[in-house]
Amino acid sequence: MSSDSIFVPNRLPVLPLPYPLILHPSLLLSIPLSYAHSLSLLKAALQVSQPNSSQSNGGNGRRDQIDAHKPIIVACVPTLRPDLSNATSQAPPANAIKIDDDVEELGTGSKEEADLRVKINDLYDWGCAARLIRLTRHPASQTCTLVVTGIARVRVDRWLSVRAPLTSTTLDSARNLTVPDVPVPLASMTTFPETPFPGRNPSTQDQEAVKKLRIAATELIEALMNDPTSRRLDAADPRATALSLPLLPNALLKRLMSFVREARDSQSGLLADVLVGTLGGACAWNDRVGVLGEYDPRERVARTITLLGEGVYRVRTARELIAALGAPLSSGSKESLAKNQLEGLLAQLAALNPNISARISTGNTTFSIGSVKKGSEDDGKVGGIIAIRGNNNTKNDDASQSAVIRPVNAPLKPFRANPFGSSRGMGGGGAGGAEGANEEDEDEVAELTRKLDEAKLTPEARKVCDRELKRLGRIPAQSVERGVVITYLETMAELPWDKTSTDMDTKAITTGEVDEGIVSRARRILDEDHYGLDKIKRRLVEYLAVLELKTEQAKERMSQEERDSRETAKAGGRKGDAGNGAPESQSKEVVPWVPGLGEDGPGIDRLDEQAEDEAERKRQRDEQVRRRKNAFVADKGPILLLVGPPGTGKTSIAKSLAAALKRPFTRLSLGGVRDESEIRGHRRTYVGAMPGNIASSLRKVGVSDPVILLDEIDKLSSGNGLHGDPMAAMLEVLDPEQNNQFSDHYINCPMDLSRVLFIATANTLETISPPLLDRTEVIQVSGYTHDEKVAIAKQYLLPKQAKAQGLSFGKDLIVGDDVLLKIAMSYTREAGVRSLEREIGAVARAKAVQFAEDRKGTLKDSKGNKCAYDPKVRVEDLLDILGIESYEPEVADIQSRSGVSTGLAYQGSGSGGILHIETLMLPPGTGNMKLTGKLGDVIQESANLAFSWVKAHAFQLGIVPNRESEFPKNDVHLHMPSGAIPKDGPSAGVAMVCALVSLWTDTVIPKELAMTGEITLRGLVTPVGGIKEKCLGAHRAGIKRLILPMRNRKDVESDLPQNVRSDLDIQYVRTIWQAIDIAFGNALYENALMRNGSLEGIDEGRRLMTSEFESSRL
């Protein structure tokens, strides 16, 4: 029920608030009362709010029904203390009609009534209508704590009586005790509900007032907060005390700061009440009383602004006074200061509750504060002792001195630091009498226990931690083993056993747009952060789509189960009513009971326990729902292995995936790791043992489902037998069927890694063991094309380097696409863009030098003349900035000649190009072939294979006139240029065949034609790798036509950009004869006819060209 919907009667019982308590609307307040006063107030409030329900029914002890849903309202009015001149002189005068002689005759004439009449005349005529929230009884001290919440400010128009009706006596029938009566005033009130300020059309002055209110509140809250940025000071330095003095809890101040920022402008009046009521301790009491009497929100806001400004001055002055002490306090000064502070605290405690008695004992002095008289009936029942130990050599340090505060005659109970008992007094060589250290140890163990309870441990981990906690209680404080156990327990408490990324604050992680799905957000982030890499993006989006689908299905399933449970509960309720045969009206009967009276009802002293039980049950239900939802969404994520050259974005794309999933990201560098303990951790038997990198990463990110990048997994050492095999240790980590029970040697209990999304990177697959490779999904990351490099440089690298060098991109630095392409082709040769970024940085630095000289007027050209700064970089400027070109790419020949063909080569690092194959016929000799050009074994075998195939089909190719003719005895020399570069691989087989046929038949191959493919003795052309890089290199070299193996067609259609495919005429072949037909056409046979004059071999060769060979699995 909201405060706006609560009806406030015009006659209310009054609860005088002891000085300096003040209640403002919309705030909570705890008020200490005696048991008798609380009962009298409760009955008076029930009489006013429910006049037909609270009267006694004769003397039979029967109580009528009370509507438990109707709120109980009282008026909380602050007390004006006449002995405090500040408060009475500056507080607004009380204008309510005082109690006259007729009203005073209503009293009994007792001393208590006379005292109350004096207090009524000292009550302020403004207060706050409050609703009773909770009444907690303390049987040992016969006191109660009343919790109320402010509803609206009220004005006291007339005091009606000092004693409300039906409060003459109160009888506790259960204990057969007579509770002394306490008078309760009754007054006529006028309620002032809260009005919005400013209104719908606020003036400029109102808006400025709201702004000033927020600024003043922010300054005061910041002044009250701790200063975390202050430098460390010695503990004895008084400035350290001033800087760390928390006048209010930081958690409360942070919540209050959030409310100041988020409150609407129309809630300025409410904000003023909240600020004055919460931060009132930093302001003068009379000013706070004055704000309570301001019913006009405009005046209230203006007064609050002034009050908060004074509060800032008071707080800063108090801290400066403490910090101004020039030297550390001496031991005597410290004791005197602490004793004076405790005296003041206890005096305030005694003023709030007269039933409290306290005694302070130091090393050589003892003094008491309190109002309990000896010989009274309450003597020995209520009171308290606060003991302060003196020096360590005093003998009075028994168990009675260890309690911080306790009732006088109550039995002592040991401090329960953990569920397994305290370590105090345990054997094991600990120094006796070191109770200060024991208390610190108990605090540390209690803190560990609390952290472990909040860690949501698995049953196995809970069992291990319980055993270690018991063991910790038996270890002396001076033992080294104690530190080892505490470190282990802290590690266990910080591991995210069942905490997922959905439990974290979403503001800590990069978020997308509102109502944006996982797939849409992933596509947006991946496209913003990376150019190209379509294959990886497609695979990641597939995984995210499955995850989003499972999440939606889990939500629908949970909603359906909730609906089913509600229907089942309703059906069970109807069935129970029908079985009892009672009408519905009887089933809703309200149990008649008055809070705090007897044991017939639940009793007000059990409300706290019931509320705590209900909160615990709600927490357990929420936890069960969360775990079931995680179980529904649980998916064994793919373990991706990104293989490709350096600098192609493998690591950065993992970060983008983590941002799209809203999960934390962490990276493990596995390069050079050669110890198994780096993965599995060290056993606790060793000194300095610690968990492995996997467990440490989970501890660092704080969730059990992060994105973990296993970088450079191909450089993970296989071990030397002494320190284990880390490559084998990764088998369990990367196995989706086993990693839900991953065992770290240090943790020594199973950990669930199935929710972790692992992404591994490698430059090659050759060094990765086959079992480990089998557990991953390999995605090849090819290098960027030159067009992609230009696009990446324009979008990312140029703006980044311009900003790094102090230039404005597009204004102080202009680089065209032709310049970027020149840098990428002539000054770098890599698959990624790291070298490209370095070269662009060199260009930007050169322009930065010119720009700096131009600003000083000292810029000169190459001839020494002054010139203006030109922000544009041209291709001809690169020679002066970057020097001579580092690489000269191969280009197509200007003219064609026989014996020369153009092949395609993969040049490593994700780049490709063309490769000329040159052949030369030598004078007659042995008929052998000579190979040069630093060729590897495989490419030499391809050359021999091509030579043998040409010899075998010399008649069909028109090299010899008839079948019985002997092949010419001329030696052949085959050479591949760029002899310093090693060359190997089988993909040049087709090009070698065409080069030899061109040489022997004196037929020219077109210069714009290039080819690649492996050959077999049967004349088949089989697929090769690196098709994308080879085609891009041919396109840059000016090649117009390509011959590729038929089985590489899928690679072209999936990897090659569309603009490159449209510029190239790509023809696919299955046999060598088809490649020869495309390369030579009719020119081959025309030359053979002119040379041999016979058509027999030529006709047979034509039939072989046009016939289709049966496709082979090779």
Catalytically annotated residues:
987, 1030
Q: What are phi and psi of 506, to 5 degrees?
A: -65, -15
In whole angstroms, give the CA distance from residue 276 to residue 306: 11
Among 759, 907, 783, CA closest to 532 = 783
DSSP 671-682: TT---THHHH--
Strand ranges (E), 301-346: none
- C-beta of residue 822 within 8 angstroms of C-beta of residue 870: no
DSSP 3-state assignment of 759?
Answer: strand
Among 1027, 1059, 1055, CA closest to 1042 = 1027
5 CB-near residues (< 8 Å, 6+ apart):
none
DSSP 943-984: HHHHHHHHHHTHHHHTSSSSTTSPPP-EEEEEE-S-TTS-B-
Instruction: Evaluate the omega torsion of the peptide bond into residue 20 and state whether it is cis, within 30 degrees of 0.
Output: yes
Task: Write out the two tokens for 386.
Answer: 């606060």
In whole angstroms, give the CA distance from residue 279 to residue 238: 25
Helix extents (H) in 199-264: 204-224, 238-243, 250-262
Task: Write out the two tokens for 492.
Answer: 């266990």
Cβ–Cβ contacts within 10 Å for residue 1076, how many?
26
In whole angstroms, give the CA distance from residue 1013 to residue 1045: 6
In whole angstroms, give the CA distance from residue 844 to residue 857: 20
Amino acid occupying residue 328: P
Distance of CA 252 to the CA centre of its chain: 23
In whole angstroms, give the CA distance from residue 820 to residue 793: 7
Cβ–Cβ contacts within 10 Å for residue 34, how many?
18
Strand ranges (E), 90-176: 126-138, 143-161, 170-172
Task: Write out the two tokens for 83.
Answer: 């002995």
What is the end-to-end Cα distance of the chain in Å, rounded?
Answer: 80
Distance of CA 264 to the CA centre of its chain: 28
Instruction: For residue 143, list its beta bridge partners.
Output: 34, 138
In whole angstroms, give the CA distance from residue 721 to residue 41: 82
Angle, CA 7 vertex, CA 6 and CA 13 arms, to 5°: 110
In whole angstroms, give the CA distance from residue 298 to residue 1065: 81
Instruction: Evaluate the omega torsion of the peptide bond into residue 1006 and state whether it is cis, within 30 degrees of 0.
Output: no
Quote the radius of gyration of the chain (alpha carbons, Å).
Answer: 45
Q: What is the largest CA-CA distance in the chain?
A: 150
- C-beta of residue 537 within 8 angstroms of C-beta of residue 563: no
421 phi-psi bin (left φ>0, alpha ψ -120 to 50, beta other): left
Amino acid occupying residue 886: S
Among 1064, 1045, 926, CA closest to 989 = 1045
- Helices 1072-1080 and 989-1001: crossing angle in degrees, nearest 10, is 50
Q: What are phi and psi of 887, to 5 degrees?
A: -135, 140
Percent helix, strand and coil across the chain, each to the nearest 5: 45, 15, 40
Amino acid occupying residue 655: K
Task: Write out the two tokens for 94.
Answer: 């009380």
